[in-house]
Structure 1
Amino acid sequence: MTATAAGPALTVVVTRLGIDGGMDRVVEAMAAALADRGEDDVQLVCVTTRGRLGKLLSPLVFAGALARCLVLGLSGRADVAHLNLATRGSVLRKALMERVLSLAGVPVVVHLHGANFDDYYAACGPLMQAAIRGLFRRAACVVVLGSHWQDFVTRIAGPEVMTAIVYNAVPRVAAATEREDGNVHLVVLGEVGERKGTDVLLDALSLLRGRGIGGWRCTIAGNGAVERFRARAESLGLSGLVTFPGWLDAGAAKMLAGRADVVVLPSRAENLPMSIVEAMAAGKPVVATPVGAVAEILHDGVEGRLVPVGDAAALADALAGLIGDREARRRMGEAAAARHAADLDSGVFIERLVAVWRKAAGRAA
């Protein structure tokens, strides 16, 4: 650990799944934002906890991650650890990592992800609930993605738990030039399935078609139940209007978002989805549901539209309004870009995290 003008340098151990999902994109955003700062006061050491080797071999990957954390801690090469937490297996992995890191004298910051972590906690048995509460209570800080999740942590673990709201973030990106086909391009980025509201969206698009509202195309990009919903789109007469390209890597997803006119995410459960943050970074209006922390960054009629969960008719109305009003799309897109610059830009994000890490390391001193 070396000293810099900004203060004592920190080495931060950060967990990643190694499967290029939403949490890994957050870690990539951390690394990119640190590089853009142009300072060497913080170094990230990424530790993969699951990887792409399948269920049989993933325990070996995790065992290697535990061993690496222990070595980094005992050798004094880790000042703080940042554990990205979701549901199910992630809870067990991070609880074990926290114990190992604590034994090695490394303070832990827990970063709560997971679209339905509150529902997951409520469905857990007493022992798992106690493990989750203990993880939050032992953490130097619990980073959450909005006040909804801050209230949840405080409610289950107590007001003495240190929390910090840090919204997900990405750098500002330039929007693509308008396409020549004249259609309004609706884009969905995320896992294809009921949780993301793919069924509701297809019903809404069917309503648009039934009302004779044309001039649009929709791309639903992501893994999951792609074939099932492609078949459903065909049964609704949408095969010429809706495409399912499947999973896209980060570069292709960013390019697709940049070419969108409206980004749509009618989810039933979310924390703070990266696809919405990326849309706002590109200056795109968003149509979404007020789940998780979404309503904290997206205000109805300002940066886009908020519609009730599961309401295909309301979603169709919101989409119809934007499809037919280019000026509204422009106005809401500009508001989305302004909101991104104020709270969702990578520079804002990383400075808030660095402050959390420094405070955590100081608490351990």
Structure 2
Amino acid sequence: MTAAAAGPTLTVIVTRLGIDGGMDRVVEAMAAALADRGGEDVRLICVTTRGRLGKLLSPLVFAGALARCLALGLSGGADVAHLNLATRGSVLRKALMERVLSLVGVPVVVHLHGANFDDYYAACGSFMQAAIRTLFRRATCVVVLGNHWRDFVTRIAGPEVATAIVYNAVPRVPAAAEHEDGGVHLVVLGEVGERKGTDVLLDALSLLRGRSVGGWRCTIAGNGAVERFRARAESLGLSGLVTFPGWLDAGAAKMLAGRADIVVLPSRAENLPMSIVEAMAAGKPVVATPVGAVPEILHDGVEGRLVPVGDAGALADALTVLIGDGEMRRRMGEAAAVRHTADLDSAVFIERLVQVWRRAAGRTG
């Protein structure tokens, strides 16, 4: 796809954590989508705000990022800044960065991430809540991942705050060839732990085994409490059926999604998980929970199944049906691919972001 807009190059500062995680994967998706889009009308400058040096040295990384933003603003080297926001330390870092950028005349777009940002806000003290509200109000636009998060932002910061819904996205992923063993491959992509529902999934898989539902295997890929849940899988008699390869980079994650028959994510809290977007990009049915913006892109019985949070029995029931019905998997996978093309493809994602950036920079003419 070629760039649609003409005129001088729009230079955008984009923040990244510099560690493994979904937020940095979104930044990688931005850069890749711009490259595929073609043209030279938009340029990204990525700045790392945390890095891999540990808690003691991470302030030095942030200081360097702040200094670079200041230099870019003073020299006229940036037209807009895109601040990716999560919880805890991210709030303070982005609030300070917003102040510095605003002082040197660089408009700011805040991109809200974080699976449980609403719960985090509710648990914060008055100082942090005020900092979050102020950050949203000072932003030229707050990018959110769905109506759930738009409602949250306007509820706490006021309806006058400009928002834009831009769903996470990835390019279309080619499906892999059929498995030689003919088995059904269940795939989980994401941090291993209670928030992602790894415990619920293992309980559901144990129920499948107890019901003598065969012909399946499961790969749970991600960082986190891998050893603890590997031991739990062994204690449930699942060691021959469930594997834990650990963290996968974006390319490997897409390849695994392409080899899946069903992608599973029984999370307790989410914003809009990249693993579901990657599954739909590969034309795979998804079994997930109706948390965050997930119900906006995944409809029960259409692109997959939605099951109640924490309900291992309901999850086992949904998996039993899908494991045994290849035609249903095919039909839901095709619907997932259609949904991806309409709203979750990288080309759609980047054009929506470019429009947000252009409006923020006053380049709408």
**TM-score grouping bracket, smaller chain normalisation:** over 0.9
Secondary structure of 1:7's partner? coil
User: Structure 1, residues 299-318: CA drift from partner, whole Å, max 9, x if none?
Assistant: 00100000000000000000
Q: What is the aligned length?
A: 362
Q: Tell me, yes or no, if the aligned pair for 1:140 and 1:363 is still in contact at 8 Å.
A: no
The alpha-carbon deviation at position 288 of structure 1 amounts to 0.2
The alpha-carbon deviation at position 58 of structure 1 amounts to 0.9
Paired position in structure 1 for 2:219: 219
Give TM-score, length-normalised by structure 2.
Answer: 0.98
Q: Tell me, yes or no, if the aligned pair for 2:358 and 2:364 is still in contact at 8 Å.
A: no
Paired position in structure 1 for 2:205: 205
Paired position in structure 1 for 2:70: 70
Which aligned pairs between 1:1-365 and structure 2 lie closer than 5 A? Answer: 6-362=6-362
Measure the CA separation in 2 of the matches of 1:204 and 1:232.
13
Identity %: 90
Q: Tell me, yes or no, if the aligned pair for 2:184 and 2:217 is still in contact at 8 Å.
A: yes
User: Structure 1, residues 332-362: CA drift from partner, whole Å, max 9, x if none?
Assistant: 0000000000000000000100000010011
Measure the CA separation in 2 of the matches of 1:67 and 1:306.
46
Measure the CA separation in 1 of the matches of 2:354 and 2:287.
32
**Letter aligned with residue 342 of structure 2:** A
User: Structure 1, residues 24-78: CA drift from partner, whole Å, max 9, x if none?
Assistant: 1111111111111111110000000111111111111100000000000010000
Greater shift, 331-340 or 246-255, is seen at 246-255
Please give the root-mean-square deviation of Cα atoms over the aligned residues, in Å. Answer: 1.3
Secondary structure of 1:26's partner? helix
Measure the CA separation in 2 of the matches of 1:90 and 1:143.
16
Q: Tell me, yes or no, if the aligned pair for 1:200 and 1:312 is still in contact at 8 Å.
A: yes
Secondary structure of 2:361's partner? helix
Q: Tell me, yes or no, if the aligned pair for 1:170 and 1:278 is still in contact at 8 Å.
A: yes
Measure the CA separation in 2 of the matches of 1:245 and 1:173.
21
**Letter aligned with residue 38 of structure 2:** G
Secondary structure of 2:360's partner? helix
Q: Tell me, yes or no, if the aligned pair for 2:185 and 2:218 is still in contact at 8 Å.
A: yes
The alpha-carbon deviation at position 249 of structure 1 amounts to 1.5
Q: Tell me, yes or no, if the aligned pair for 1:48 and 1:61 is still in contact at 8 Å.
A: yes
User: Structure 1, residues 69-128: CA drift from partner, whole Å, max 9, x if none?
Assistant: 000001000000000000011111111110110111100000000000000000000010
Secondary structure of 2:244's partner? strand
Measure the CA separation in 2 of the matches of 1:351 and 1:250.
21
The alpha-carbon deviation at position 168 of structure 1 amounts to 0.2
The alpha-carbon deviation at position 129 of structure 1 amounts to 0.2
User: Structure 1, residues 289-333: CA drift from partner, whole Å, max 9, x if none?
Assistant: 000000000000100000000000000000011000000000000
**Letter aligned with residue 89 of structure 1:** G
Secondary structure of 1:52's partner? coil
Secondary structure of 1:44's partner? strand
Unaligned residue ranges in structure 1 (runs of 5+): none
Q: Tell me, yes or no, if the aligned pair for 1:145 and 1:165 is still in contact at 8 Å.
A: yes
The alpha-carbon deviation at position 183 of structure 1 amounts to 1.1
Q: Tell me, yes or no, if the aligned pair for 2:109 and 2:142 is still in contact at 8 Å.
A: yes
Q: Tell me, yes or no, if the aligned pair for 1:107 and 1:364 is still in contact at 8 Å.
A: no
Measure the CA separation in 2 of the matches of 1:109 and 1:328.
41
**Letter aligned with residue 219 of structure 1:** T
**Letter aligned with residue 69 of structure 1:** C
